[in-house]
Structure 1
């Protein structure tokens, strides 16, 4: 029995059958797959509103929120 690898998840038959992943287009990084929200609500459907941030994209805001000065 072969141990499943993280790279195998997008091709997993069960995850494909239940629509676990959805494709998105990042404006700077191109296409990527993301996990669909794990629950569904009729009155307030969930969705992905923002793409993953680029490296360092929110650094200034995080420093400010922590009350720290940039090094």
Structure 2
């Protein structure tokens, strides 16, 4: 779990869809990132460790495709 601290500063992912149905928000913390569905701000969040978040971002930047 990401360390407790001040209220996270959420931002909408630049990879979210434009139709309003596929919105993902992220927030950075000292130990990694938080991810949530922007339509359910009071819903669950996914806590991602910094090392895993960096691997994910690197894969997205380089156009990695999910396994089929």
Scaled by the length of structure 2, what TM-score is found?
Answer: 0.28
Higher alpha-carbon Rg:
1
Q: Which has the higher contact order (CA 8 A, sep 6+)?
A: 2
Structure whose residues are more often strand by fraction: 2
